[in-house]
């Protein structure tokens, strides 16, 4: 049997990575999605951003669940949004979580304003998938969702490698956001474990890789998704509603 020379020269991981991209492009989203702060944005990784860099691991051992890591990831990928805490939405494209796809996120905030941001799927294989964030997201970094076997038990894991994107986010994270982030992934992994019929005890570990602030990242505040979402809600949406009302009931002049 001969091997196609072109196939032989391709790296084994090529199909799992997103292709080179510039600005993000959002495909058609459902009408209920607040689609802001994603289209045209560029990715920001763990080396960009503003605040200290953290490496976190949230994991849950799926004791008594006779499923392979591949099966767990397949289910998680196909039903990703359904494991999120209520009030938070992940709008994936029709093609789902696949390399190069862009999703829109609508995140509940404590002040009642829905924040719109997004992610790009930079990597996806049988046992893990990884997102990277756009400008304006609360974090600059990557987050990997994976499953693996450990001592005969399948473990599901969420692994963020990230820092606050700008000074506003850094303040918000310290006041409220870091605890909220921990709660979010605890809830998600608990929901995932419950789906498989396992009792969940989420383990957490955190390491600060770099405590320094990157002051060059302070200007990222220009793209801040919370500020922009808030301004949209306060200023633009009421005007749009008024315009729709006027167009349905035009003023008659005698």
Residue 32 within binding range of another protein, rule CB under 8 A: no
Q: Which of 136, 124, 91 is nearest to 226 (CA)?
A: 136
Write down the residue that tokens 């390491």 correspond to.
207
Distance CA 82, CA 188 (A): 9
What minimum distance in Å lies between the beta carbon of 251 and another protein? Answer: 53
Residue 126 within binding range of another protein, rule CB under 8 A: no
Residue 125 within binding range of another protein, rule CB under 8 A: yes
Q: Which residue in 3, 12, 215, 252 binds another protein (CB under 8 A)?
A: 12
CB atoms under 10 Å from CB of 224, counted, come to 24
Distance CA 144, CA 124 (A): 9
What minimum distance in Å lies between the beta carbon of 234 and another protein? Answer: 33
Residue 161 within binding range of another protein, rule CB under 8 A: yes
Write down the residue that tokens 């000074």 correspond to.
167
Residues 6+ apart with CB under 8 A from 110: 176
Q: Cβ closer to another protein: 201 or 207?
A: 207
Q: Which residue in 1, 6, 7, 13 binds another protein (CB under 8 A)?
A: 13
Q: SS3 of 166, please?
A: coil
Q: Cβ closer to another protein: 28 or 151?
A: 151
Bridging pattern class, strands 89-91 and 139-150: unpaired
CA torsion angle 126 187 33 92 (round to 10): 0
Q: Cβ closer to another protein: 17 or 213?
A: 17
Residue 5 within binding range of another protein, rule CB under 8 A: no
| Interacting positions 41-70 with another protein (CB under 8 A) | 43-48, 53, 55
Q: Cβ closer to another protein: 11 or 112?
A: 11
| Interacting positions 134-153 with another protein (CB under 8 A) | 142, 144, 146
Distance CA 13, CA 21 (A): 18
Distance CA 130, CA 87 (A): 23
Interface size with another protein, residues (CB under 8 A): 32
Residue 209 within binding range of another protein, rule CB under 8 A: yes
Residue 123 within binding range of another protein, rule CB under 8 A: yes
Residue 18 within binding range of another protein, rule CB under 8 A: yes
The encoded tokens of residue 68 equal 């392979």
Binding site for another protein (CB under 8 A): 10-14, 16-21, 43-48, 53, 55, 122-123, 125, 128, 130, 132, 142, 144, 146, 159, 161, 209-210
């Amino acid at each position: 049997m001969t091997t196609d020379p072109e196939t032989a020269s391709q790296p084994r991981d090529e199909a799992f990575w997103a292709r080179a991209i510039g600005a993000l492009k959002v495909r058609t989203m459902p009408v209920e999605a607040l689609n802001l702060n994603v289209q045209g944005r560029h990715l920001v990784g763990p080396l960009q951003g503003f605040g200290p860099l953290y490496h976190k691991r949230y994991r849950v051992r799926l004791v008594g669940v006779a499923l392979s890591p591949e099966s767990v990831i397949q289910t998680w990928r196909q039903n990703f949004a359904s494991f999120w805490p209520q009030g938070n939405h992940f709008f994936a494209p029709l093609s789902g979580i696949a390399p190069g796809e862009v999703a829109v996120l609508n995140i509940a905030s404590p002040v009642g304003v829905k924040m719109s941001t997004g992610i790009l799927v930079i990597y996806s294989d049988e046992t893990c998938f990884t997102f990277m964030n756009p400008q304006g997201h609360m974090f600059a970094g990557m987050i990997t969702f994976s499953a693996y076997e450990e001592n005969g038990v399948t473990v599901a894991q969420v692994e963020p490698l990230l820092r606050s994107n700008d000074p506003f986010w850094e303040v918000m994270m310290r006041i409220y956001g870091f605890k909220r982030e921990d709660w979010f992934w605890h809830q998600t992994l608990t929901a995932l474990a419950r789906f498989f019929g396992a009792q969940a005890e989420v383990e957490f570990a955190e390491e600060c890789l770099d405590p320094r602030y990157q002051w060059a990242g302070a200007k990222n505040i220009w793209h801040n998704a919370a500020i922009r979402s808030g301004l949209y809600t306060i200023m633009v949406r009421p005007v749009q509603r008024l315009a729709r009302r006027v167009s349905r009931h035009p003023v008659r002049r005698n």
